[in-house]
Amino acid sequence: MTAAPDPATPAPVKATGAAGELLHFFRSNARQYGMLVALVVAVAIFQVATNGIMLKPLNVTNIFLQNGYIVLMALGMLLIIVVGHIDLSVGSVAAFTGAVAAVLMVNQHMDPIVASLVALGIGALIGAWQGFWVAYMAIPSFIVTLSGMLLFRGLTLFMLNGQPVGPFPGSFRAIASGFLPDPFGGDGLKLSSLILAGVLSALVVYIDFRGRREEHKYGFESQPIYLFIARNVGIVAGIMFLAFLMSQYEGLPNVLVLVLALTGLYIFVTNRTVVGRRIYAVGGNAKAAMLSGVNSKRLVFLTFVNMGVLAALGGLVFAARLNSATPKAGNGFELDVIAAAFVGGASAYGGVGTVLGAVIGALFLGVLNIGMGILSIGIDYQQAIKALVLLGAVYFDVSSKRKAG
C-alpha cells in the first residue's frame, strides 16, 4: 500500500468521461505521486546530461551504497516529525555509535555481531535519554537534540581520542559494501538478485491488488482500472529495470536489502498497526489523542528510542562503508535526513507524512548528489541547488494543501 494511512479524500467532484476521471484522479493524488514523478524526471535529466553515464550499473549501485544510511535514518526521522518533533542529533549519534563499534571491534577485538548489537543498544539508550527529556520533562525537542548533537559529538571525540579508528574486519564491512551472494555463479547476470527483485515485484502487485479489492468491497471510489494496471506495470518495470542494471555489476547491495526490508516494515507499522495510528493521532492533535486514551508521552518517548536505534544502524553502515570510525563522521547527516522527510511530503506541523515519501525524498537527494557529482558540479553549487530543492518541495507541499483545503 502506497497510500498515506489517511488519504483525506476530497468530496467527489462529478467528472465527465474518462478524461475528466483521469484529471480528477491526478489532481487528488498529486501529492502522492508528485515526488515519484520528480524523481523519475530528475533521473531522466541526468541521464541525458551525462550522456548515459547516470544509469550505468556502477552508478545505480552507488546511489544505494552512498545513501543507504540516510534512508535508514530517514525512517526514524519520519516518525519523529509525524509525532510533532525533530531530532538534530542523528549525525552525532551515528558518529558516536560508529565510534563505539570501532573501538570494540578494532581495539578490543570483539566479535562484529556482538559489537554491532552493543552499538544498537547504545543507540536505544541515547534515544531513551533524549526521549525522556522531550516526553516526560516537556523540554522542546529542538533544544534537547541540539544539546544531544553537541554532547555526542564531544563523546565521539573522546572515544576516538580525536583519531580515526580502523580498519574493520571484513565480515563487518560486508554490511555496507557487500552484495547479495550469488550461489548460481553466473558470470554475467547475478541471478539471485534478479530472483529477489522478482519476488519483491510480485509482493508489491499482490498488496496493491488486495487493497483495490478491498476498496471495491466497501464501495470506495478507486482509480480507473487502466491506471491501476499502468501503475503496477510501471512499478514492476522500474524494480526489474534497476535490479537488471545492478545484476550486471555486483548484484543487489546488502544495504539495499536491509533498506528494503526495513522500509517495508515501517510502511506496515505506520499504515496498519495500532502504534502507527497513534503516532499520527498524537502528531495531528496531541490533546485530542490524549483525551482519547492515548499515552502520548510514552509514544513520543518510544519514537525517540526508535530513532536512536536507527541512527546507530546508520552509524554502523557508514563506519563500515568508510572502513573506519572518524571524529567527523556523520557531520551534517541530520540535515540530509530531515530534508528527506520534508521533501517526501512530511509536514513541519506534525501529523502528516509517509514512510515511502521519506524514502523517495532521500533517494531524490541522493540522485541529485550523484548526478551533480558525475557532472563535476562544484560542491558550492551542489549545496545551493539542494537548498533550493528543499525549499521548492516544501512550497509545493504547502501550496497544494492550500488548494485542497
Partner 1 sequence: MSDVLLEMRGITKTFPGVKALDDVSFSVRRGEIHALVGENGAGKSTLMKVLSGVYPYGSYEGDILFEGKECQFHDIRASERQGIVIIHQELALVPELSITENIFLGNEQQTNGVISWGASHDRARKLLKRVGLDESPDTKVGRIGVGKQQLVEIAKALSKEVTLLILDEPTSSLNENDSQALLNLLKEFRSKGISCVLISHKLNEVESVADSITILRDGRSIETLDATGGNVSEDRIIRGMVGRDLTHRFPEREAEIGEVLLEVEHWNVAHPIYDDRMVIKDISINVRAGEVVGIAGLMGAGRTEFAMSVFGHSWGRFVSGTVKKRGVPIDVSTIPKAIKNGVAYVTEDRKTYGLVLGSSVKTNITMANLDGVSNGLVVSDPKEIQVANRYRDQLQIKSSSVLQSTVNLSGGNQQKVVLSKWLFAEPDVLILDEPTRGIDVGAKFEIYTIVNRLAASGKAIILISSELPEVLGMADRIYVMAAGEIAAEMPVAEASQESIMKAIMRLNRAGVEEVVL
Answer for which of 117, 203, 288, 385 binds partner 1 (CB under 8 A) is 288
Report the site for partner 1 in 332-351 (rule: CB under 8 A): 351
296-322 and 170-177 helices, crossing angle to 10°: 110
Is residue 398 within the footprint of partner 1 (CB under 8 A)? no
Instruction: Tell me the closest approach of the beta carbon of residue 3 to partner 1, in angstroms.
Output: 10
Is residue 280 within the footprint of partner 1 (CB under 8 A)? yes
Is residue 63 within the footprint of partner 1 (CB under 8 A)? no
Three-state DSSP at 329 gives coil
Q: Which is nearer to partner 1, 5 or 186 (CB)?
A: 5
Rounded Cα distance between 70 and 367, Å, is 13
Rounded Cα distance between 82 and 186, Å, is 45
Cβ atoms of 252 and 246 within 8 Å: the answer is yes
Instruction: Tell me the closest approach of the beta carbon of residue 399 to partner 1, in angstroms.
Output: 16
Three-state DSSP at 253 gives strand
Could you count the other beta carbons within 10 Å of the beta carbon of residue 16? 8
Instruction: Tell me the closest approach of the beta carbon of residue 291 to partner 1, in angstroms.
Output: 5
Is residue 287 within the footprint of partner 1 (CB under 8 A)? yes
Answer for which of 71, 281, 322, 367 binds partner 1 (CB under 8 A) is 281
Rounded Cα distance between 118 and 130, Å, is 18
Q: Which of these ranges, 110-118, 247-255, 286-294, 379-387, lies near partner 1 under the rule CB under 8 A? A: 286-294
Cβ atoms of 309 and 117 within 8 Å: the answer is no
Instruction: Tell me the closest approach of the beta carbon of residue 403 to partner 1, in angstroms.
Output: 9
Q: Where are the strands (E) in 105-153, listed by range? A: none
**Cell representation of residue 361:** 525524498
Answer for which of 143, 154, 214, 265 binds partner 1 (CB under 8 A) is 214
Rounded Cα distance between 255 and 67, Å, is 9
Rounded Cα distance between 89 and 239, Å, is 33
Cβ atoms of 361 and 42 within 8 Å: the answer is no
Handedness of CA 137, 142, 309, 158 (dihedral sign): negative
Judged by CB under 8 A, how many residues of this single chain contact partner 1? 36
Q: Which is nearer to partner 1, 6 or 208 (CB)?
A: 6
Q: What are phi and psi of 278, to 5 degrees?
A: -70, -35
Answer for which of 138, 217, 225, 379 binds partner 1 (CB under 8 A) is 217
Nearest to 129 by CA among 157, 96, 102, 81: 96
Instruction: Tell me the closest approach of the beta carbon of residue 309 to partner 1, in angstroms.
Output: 19
What spatial distance separates the first Cα and last Cα of the chain, rounded to whole Å? Answer: 24
Q: Which of these ranges, 89-97, 158-166, 280-288, 390-398, lies near partner 1 under the rule CB under 8 A? A: 280-288
Nearest to 252 by CA among 80, 13, 45, 61: 61
x/- track of binding to partner 1 for residues 6-45 (CB under 8 A): xxxxxxxx--------------------------------
Residues in a beta bridge with 253: 179
Answer for which of 108, 291, 376, 402 binds partner 1 (CB under 8 A) is 291
Report the site for partner 1 in 105-164 (rule: CB under 8 A): none
CA 393 to chain centre: 16
Q: Which of these ranges, 2-10, 102-110, 151-159, 305-313, lies near partner 1 under the rule CB under 8 A? A: 2-10
Q: Which is nearer to partner 1, 70 or 294 (CB)?
A: 294
Instruction: Tell me the closest approach of the beta carbon of residue 27 to partner 1, in angstroms.
Output: 11
Q: Which helix (H) or strand (E) holds 55?
A: none
Q: Which is nearer to partner 1, 4 or 320 (CB)?
A: 4
x/- track of binding to partner 1 for residues 235-274 (CB under 8 A): -------------------------------------xxx
User: Which residues contribute to the site for partner 1 (CB under 8 A)?
Assistant: 5-13, 214, 217-218, 220-221, 272-275, 277-278, 280-281, 284-285, 287-295, 351-352, 405
